[in-house]
A = this chain, B = another copy of it.
Amino acid sequence: MLEKVTELLDEKKLGELHRMFHDMMPADIAELLGEFEGDRLTVLFRILPKEIAADTFVLMDQDKMEELLRAFSDRELTALIEDMYLDDAVDVIEEMPANVAERILARASQETRHEINALLKYPHDSAGSILTTEYIRLYPDMTVSDAFDVIRRNGIDKETVYTCYVTDRKRKLVGVVSVRTMLLSPTDAVIGDVMEENVISVNTLDDKEFVANQLQKYDFLALPVVDSENRMIGIVTIDDAVDVIVDEYSEDLEIMAAITPTDRPYLKQSVFSIWKSRIPWLLLLMISATFTGMIISSFEEALAAQVALTAFIPMLMDTGGNSGSQSSVTVIRGISLDEIEFRDTFLVMWKELRISVLCGISLAAATFIKIQLVDNLIMKNEVSLTVSAVVCLTLLFTVVCAKLIGCVMPLLAKKLGFDPAVMASPFITTIVDAVSLLLYFFFAKAMLGL
């Protein structure tokens, strides 16, 4: 495909390219255009069929958008911005450098500019930031056939026509009616009679993740967004909700791997900006890990007296870390799926306690057998029974502590208003490392008399 486009472009067969684009989906064209730059990119964009140009534009990568916007004439800018859905226009403007954003706004019609500015005022994570004001609004005293007239007149510009919102003359939301219901009703039925009066709506300031979850929970195609006085402001559509869910997922993953989250694709980020998103956490965790080192230092004599003890340190630390991160991720997932709440803390702890005892005993037993068979019989390391007992006891208690810490920390973070994802593997591991060593040296001192 890419080769064909390059060839046609080289031969200046623009008419053929135009016809080719005509049969393609915006998402595919956006992907294809991402392979071009400079004048060739601008030329290709200009021959896109008018009806899909704006749709294609909003699906392109940020740097390609910027390149195109800088190349466009004022007239082209106006045409583009007026063809976009408002929520897409807001997204584009938010991602552009200030001078480009200002130029776009300056070229938009007064009405569009006014609406974009209103949307730009909502906080970054709110329902307001992802809503669109392009929806179908009906009045309760219309008939179904009136409603279809409204859809026919305005539908072309609306992001969805399938769910229509019924308001009174003061824009207060009083009901919702689907095109499906209207199609299945007689044409002279009154909207007020066929509409659903129990409307699930969200507030402009609600968290956008909450909005996405609501859309998913109720299997809706769109959700109305109202202000504090129940006045209809706009709608959030399912496709935006899916994007929120996917973004949230990818943000969670990054936080869980101790990376400052970003929206930009990996291959588009500079080495320096990736370094910036990773180094603070590495430093912080490294500093925490030196405390673990200090614990070892303070037991240097014990270790020197019983050198065999050192060899088990990595296994104890790793197993503790893995046990803890299993619990923390399980709880983080449960919180984000709304399955676990803070009031379940003791329930979760009691469950993890039992699981950790089971896991701890299994692992300790396996280690005991492994020491006797591998270390003593095969490797002839002669690990004494007491040292084996110290290792196995430490393992059991480490697993129990690790799992309890792992399950409590995310719940605590949530309660304190932090993102529970912060309490994933890296932090839990750092804490558990120290705990496992303290336990190890405690048992070693007690049982080996060091």
Task: Tell me if A266 is interfacial: C-beta within 8 Å of chain B.
Answer: yes
Is there an interface contact between B256 and A329, defined as CB atoms closer than 8 Å?
Answer: yes
A residues 274-328 near B (Cβ < 8 Å) are 274-275, 278-279, 281-283, 285-287, 289-290, 292-294, 296-297, 300, 303-304, 307-308, 310-315, 317-319, 321-323, 325-326, 328
Knowing A293-B313, A370-B290 touch, does A283 contact B322 (C-beta < 8 A)?
no
Interface SS, A side: helix
The verdict on A161 contacting chain B, using a C-beta distance below 8 Å, is: yes
> Which A residues, 7 to 47, have Cβ-Cβ distances below 8 Å to chain B?
23-25, 27
- Chain B residues within an 8 Å CB radius of A294: 311
- Asked whether A266 lies within 8 Å of B322 as measured between CB atoms, the reply is no
Q: Given that A27-B217, A425-B425 are known contacts, is A271 also in contact with B354, CB under 8 Å in the complex?
A: yes
Pick the contact of A322 from B25, B281, B318 — CB < 8 Å?
A: B281
How far, in angstroms, from A151 to B437 measured CA to CA in the complex?
69
Does A443 count as interface, using CB distance less than 8 angstroms? no
Determine whether the beta carbon of B183 is less than 8 Å from that of A329: no
Instruction: Tell whether A358 pairs with B271 under 8 Å between CB atoms, given A242-B238, A314-B317, A339-B265.
Output: yes
User: How far, in whole Å, are A27 and B223 apart by their CA atoms in the complex?
Assistant: 15
The residue that A355 contacts in the complex, of B23, B275, B283, B429, with Cβ under 8 A, is B275
Q: Is A344 interfacial (CB-CB < 8 Å)? A: yes
**Interface: A179 (CB within 8 A):** yes
Which residue, A198, A281, A358, has most C-beta atoms of chain B within 10 A? A358
Which residue in chain B gives the minimum CB-CB distance to A214? Answer: B27
Distance in angstroms between the alpha carbons of A286 and B429 in the assembled complex: 15
Rounded to whole Å, the gap between the CB of A442 and the closest CB of chain B is: 17
- Chain B residues with Cβ under 8 A from A141's Cβ? none
- For chain A, the bracket of interface size reads 35 or more
A254 within 8 A of B: yes
**Contact mask for chain A residues 229-243; partner B; CB cutoff 8 A; 1 contact, 0 none:** 000000000110111
Q: With A216-B242, A347-B267, A429-B318 as known contacts, state yes or no: A183 contacts B148, CB within 8 Å.
A: yes
Say whether, besides A25-B200, A303-B310, A318-B286, A238 and B267 are in contact (CB < 8 Å): no
Interface residues of A in 139-186 (CB under 8 A from B): 148, 151-152, 155-156, 161-162, 179-180, 183-184
Query: Which chain A residues numbered 342 to 364 have a C-beta less than 8 Å away from chain B?
Result: 344, 347-348, 351, 354-355, 358-359, 362-363
**Residue pair A179, B200 in contact (C-beta under 8 Å):** no
Do B285 and A253 touch (CB < 8 A)?
Answer: no
- Hey, which chain B residues are within 8 Å of A414, CB to CB? none
What 0/1 readout, one digit per residue, does chain A (217-257) give for beta carbons within 8 Å of chain B? Answer: 11101000000000000000011011101100110111011
Name which of A66-74, A76-84, A121-129, A330-338 contacts chain B: A330-338
B313 contacts A296, C-beta separation under 8 Å: yes
Partner of A314, one of B179, B292, B304, B333: B292
Given the contacts A282-B319, A286-B315, A312-B293, A340 and B271 also touching, CB distance less than 8 Å: no
**A-B CB contact pairs (8 Å), 20 listed:** A221-B238, A238-B242, A246-B337, A250-B333, A253-B256, A257-B325, A257-B326, A257-B425, A266-B340, A267-B334, A267-B340, A274-B330, A275-B355, A279-B358, A281-B326, A293-B311, A296-B311, A300-B310, A300-B311, A318-B433
Interface residues of A (CB under 8 A from B): 23-25, 27, 148, 151-152, 155-156, 161-162, 179-180, 183-184, 198, 200, 216-219, 221, 238-239, 241-243, 245-246, 249-250, 252-254, 256-259, 265-267, 271-272, 274-275, 278-279, 281-283, 285-287, 289-290, 292-294, 296-297, 300, 303-304, 307-308, 310-315, 317-319, 321-323, 325-326, 328-334, 337, 339-340, 344, 347-348, 351, 354-355, 358-359, 362-363, 366-367, 370, 374, 381, 399, 424-426, 429-430, 433, 437
Other A-B pairs beyond A221-B238, A286-B363, A292-B318, 10, CB < 8 Å: A161-B183, A179-B183, A266-B333, A267-B334, A267-B351, A283-B362, A285-B322, A297-B308, A297-B381, A325-B425
